[in-house]
Amino acid sequence: MTDGFDAVVVGSGPNGLVGALRLARAGRRVLLVEAAGTVGGGLRTEELTLPGFRHDVCATVVPLALASPAFRALGVDVAYDHPPVPAAHPLDGAPAALVQRSEGATAAGLGRDGPAWRASVGATARAGFPLVDTLLSPLHLPPAAPLAAVRYGALGALPATAAARVFRDPAARAALAGMAAHSMLDLARPLTAGYGLLLAALAHSVGWPVVRGGTQSLADALVRELQALGGEVVTGWRVRDLDELPPVPVTLLDTSTRALLEIAGDRLPAAYRRRVERFRPGPGVFKIDYALDAPVPWTDPAVAGAGTVHLGGTLPEIADAERTVVRGGHPERPFVLGVQACVADPSRAPQGKHTFWAYCHVPNGSDVDMTAALEGQVERFAPGFRDRVLARHVRGPAALESHNPNEVGGDINGGSGDWRQFVSRPVLARSPWRTPVPGLFLCSASTPPGGGVHGMGGWEAAGLALADPVGAPAVRSR
């Protein structure tokens, strides 16, 4: 079963799948190895609560799957469903800020901040795929859109708390803060505005869709093509050492840096190991999946049409909550990210029922039960929410890591994405996907450009492997 391969990919998250398929399309015969019983990594969909309720274990809303150069090049045949509104940000005693597909509609809803939204988020959206390609391929020179990148960077390099000053009213400022908080960083730190600008812009340019039937459908589609090209997939095999694998010219690891150190062992030079060991994880998440007997009862009815809901109130509230987490604390009012997948894809639940998931950020490895605090934020903007809960499935950082070892300490982004580790992932190098072991590449979210369903780590690592001369198998001896 393990004979006759040209490449092995360990780990079947979006990066591993993309890397495997790029190699297979180039004519390589690929063996894909996955430790879990099913493929997908962060793309898995399971009945976590009750029969008939399909929950995405990690990723649900996947704008980067439409925008990234890797997925655009692969052209995977899956169906995407768009909610009526990509994202909503409820506020106390005021209409929610709605980030809609239309830049114009969003700007109109923000009143006097509409022109500033057009000039910032709108300009980022209008820069199109060349800017996205530049941001998702930060080490490629020359960049695909240098002038657009400079304009984007003038605001995006700032802390979100500073960039939000281009807006005058709380609604627009809160909308940017909610977007920026996806970074899982202190919003007073550099680059956090850039995360927010890009995510908000994607709502206008490609939307914030879900994969019909669950993100598992995307993983399954990638696997089907891989197998059609002669690749083989083995699940339930946790690789602990390179010697377990067949000797092939190319090995891609879609794993955490901790697993890289374990699998490659003392083949890695001591200096490289020390650099990798200094790579810092980001905060963890505390996530609850819900089966509901009816939609979430939002105070503002407009929020009912949003696929993603940011629950945290004003920019100062969100910034305080995220700063507390980064400093090792647990906020009483956390920033909560919620997803209503059934708004876009009713097949996720039995007729008339709904799924909902929500998570908040916590210190890496936290064992604190955040259920009450998280649900308090939902109830704040949707009184009566708890009365609609049929079942809950709760996972803190330890449970998330147990389900997916790449999520070390509950970190879903593969390591902190602050300015020091934005390109230094996991080490500062011209080609950080390449390890010192010949033929061995790291392709996970711990490589540029970081977390998200974009597949770029796998795309870059596979591209480097294909550019190497085809020769002797990768070094396996100690």
Please report, in tens digits, the pLDDT of each residue of the chain (478 residues total).
557 899 999 999 999 999 999 999 999 999 999 999 999 999 999 999 999 999 999 999 999 999 999 999 999 999 999 999 999 999 999 999 999 999 999 999 999 999 999 999 999 999 999 999 999 999 998 999 999 999 999 999 999 999 999 999 999 999 999 999 999 999 999 999 999 999 999 999 999 999 999 999 999 999 999 999 999 999 999 999 999 999 999 999 999 999 999 999 999 999 999 999 999 999 999 999 999 999 999 999 999 999 999 999 999 999 999 999 999 999 999 999 999 999 999 999 999 999 999 999 999 999 999 999 999 999 999 999 999 999 999 999 999 999 999 999 999 999 999 999 988 999 999 999 999 999 999 999 999 999 999 999 999 999 999 998 754 444 454 5
Q: Please, are residues 40 and 196 in contact by the beta-carbon 8 Å criterion? A: no
In a domain, 236, yes or no: yes
In a domain, 240, yes or no: yes
* Residues 451, 439 within the same domain: yes
* Residues 376, 398 within the same domain: yes
Q: Which tokens belong to 35? A: 């430790």
Distance CA 24, CA 312 (A): 44
Q: Which tokens belong to 167? A: 């807006």
Distance CA 15, CA 455 (A): 4
In a domain, 334, yes or no: yes
* Residues 306, 454 within the same domain: no
Residue 450: CATH number of its domain: 3.50.50.60
Query: Residue 330's pLDDT is what?
Result: 98
Domain boundary among 379, 403, 427: 403
Domain boundary among 403, 425, 448: 403
Query: Residue 473's pLDDT is what?
Result: 44
* Residues 196, 303 within the same domain: yes
* Residues 306, 377 within the same domain: yes
Instruction: Give the list of residues 6+ apart from residue 158 with CB closer than 8 angstroms, or none.
Output: 190, 193
In a domain, 476, yes or no: no
Q: Please, are residues 94 and 171 in contact by the beta-carbon 8 Å criterion? A: yes
* Residues 288, 309 within the same domain: yes
Q: Which tokens belong to 68? A: 């990234």
Residue 166: CATH number of its domain: 3.90.660
Query: Residue 469's pLDDT is what?
Result: 73
In a domain, 386, yes or no: yes
Distance CA 166, CA 122 (A): 13
In a domain, 51, yes or no: no
Query: Residue 423's pLDDT is what?
Result: 83
In a domain, 139, yes or no: yes
Query: Residue 209's pLDDT is what?
Result: 98
Query: Residue 296's pLDDT is what?
Result: 98
Distance CA 174, CA 257 (A): 34
Count of CB atoms situated within 10 Å of the CB of 314: 16
The residue count for the chain: 478
Query: Residue 3's pLDDT is what?
Result: 72
* Residues 387, 446 within the same domain: no
Domain boundary among 351, 374, 403: 403
* Residues 100, 185 within the same domain: yes
Q: Is the whole-model pTM more than 0.85?
A: yes
CA quadruple 285, 286, 288, 289: dihedral, nearest 10: 30
* Residues 163, 268 within the same domain: no
In a domain, 69, yes or no: no
* Residues 164, 299 within the same domain: yes
Query: Residue 477's pLDDT is what?
Result: 44
* Residues 318, 435 within the same domain: no
- DSSP characters for 9-74? EE--SHHHHHHHHHHHHTT--EEEEESSSSS-GGG-EE--SSTT--EESS--B-HHHHHSHHHHHH
Total tally of structural domains belonging to the chain:
2
* Residues 15, 106 within the same domain: no
Domain membership of residue 186 as a residue range: 80-210+283-403
Q: Checking phi first, is residue 321 left (phi over 0); if not, alpha (psi -120 to 50) or beta?
A: alpha
